[in-house]
Amino acid sequence: MIREEDIQKAAEYIRGGRLVAFPTETVYGLGANALDSIAVARIFELKQRPSFDPLIVHIASVDEIYSLISSNDERILKLAEKFWPGPLTIVLPKSTRIPDIVTSGLPTVGIRIPHHPIALALIKQAQVPIAAPSANRFGKVSPTTAQHVRKHLPGVDFILDGGKTQVGIESTIIKLNDKGFDILRNGVITREEIEKVVPYAPETRDSKTIIASGMMLSHYSPDKPIFILSDKLKLEKEKAGLISYTGKHTEGYKKVIRVSQNGDLLEYAANLFAAIHQLEESDVEFIVAEPVAEVGIGMAIMDRLKKAAYRYQKEQQENN
């Protein structure tokens, strides 16, 4: 249980330029005062995150956004009303108040209001916006418990332990343009839901400007090989851990983790990273995950699985 003193201490740490890991509804974040370049630099250092990968800024109420952005686009309020607090990050033109290190020199900043009482209490008490990436070493699987944070980042100054996060995968990231919105990273808030508020208007992208981890081919990469289950995959089941969604064909595996009891994609999302962490720590040699159809929330799940499996799938193809 989190006590009031813990939040207070964490808020003081943030104000003092130190780092605090805290739960959000998606995954744990590694937070620092977004207005303090040196504190933000510590995030990059502790995470071993390349400086080209910008951070999301977390606020506690919509009015705080206007000093951080240089836009009074009316669509922001419409989106905020529908989706905030919640797992949606909106990329907007930044104001000069946001240090360049936060946005990796980009003229835009990603902002969201998290839907978690501890995160909101922390931001309110710190009285500053909090820049926070997921609290894992760069490129690794995001943490959904405080234990996962300790495993990846033993050097973090303070962790607010709020138990397991509910959503389990990172926020949907969208960018507004003249015609509507583009999706930079899929999450449990789907394109279809956002389209009810703003039209979908994907942009053509210059491949040289990878601006979101959502766009990298390899990411969320566990320390053990992970593969997406398919007929083509030749594997020694007795050495593998299976992440099972349907509960079908589970026989022969060394370990099986059921991520959903009744075929609920939200449950798969909520339990996916925890299942990977658990199998990473177990005695299986590799991990196999059951795919789902790439629609709605299935897009976000398959995005994480494909990126996690990317380098291993590639190695396998090269060896064959």
What residue ranges bind ligand TXA (CB under 6 A)?
24, 26-27, 29, 53-56, 87, 89, 91, 103, 106, 108-110, 114, 132-134, 170-171, 173, 184, 211-213
CA dist 106 and 308 (Å) reads: 26
Q: How far is the CB of 136 from Mg ion (least distance, A)?
A: 6
Write the single-letter amino acid at 196.
K
CB hemisphere CA count around 271 (13 angstroms):
18
First to last CA, the chain: 51
User: ∠166-157-65 over CA atoms, to 5°?
Assistant: 60
Q: How far is the CB of 55 from ligand TXA (least distance, A)?
A: 5
Nearer to ligand TXA, 123 or 288 (CB): 123
Nearer to Mg ion, 125 or 213 (CB): 213
CA dist 153 and 158 (Å) reads: 11
Nearer to Mg ion, 198 or 300 (CB): 300
Region of 28-36, 126-134, 265-273, 282-290 interacting with Mg ion (CB under 5 A): 126-134
Quote the distance between the C-alpha of residue 309 and its chain's center.
Answer: 17
Q: Look-up: residue for tokens 């050097």?
A: 155
CB hemisphere CA count around 265 (13 angstroms):
16
Residues 128-147 that bind Mg ion (CB under 5 A): 134
Question: From Mg ion, ligand TXA, none, which one binds at residue 125 (CB under 5 to 8 Å depending on kind)?
Answer: none
Question: From ligand TXA, Mg ion, none, which one binds at residue 162 (CB under 5 to 8 Å depending on kind)?
Answer: none
Nearer to ligand TXA, 86 or 241 (CB): 86
Which of 206, 210, 214, 208 lies closest to 184 in space, CA to CA? Answer: 214
Q: How far is the CB of 129 from ligand TXA (least distance, A)?
A: 12
CA dist 204 and 294 (Å) reads: 21
Compute the Cα dihedral for 182, 179, 191, 86 and give only its sign.
positive
Binding mask 55-94 for Mg ion (x = CB under 5 A): ----------------------------------------
Nearer to ligand TXA, 2 or 106 (CB): 106
Binding site for Mg ion (CB under 5 A): 134
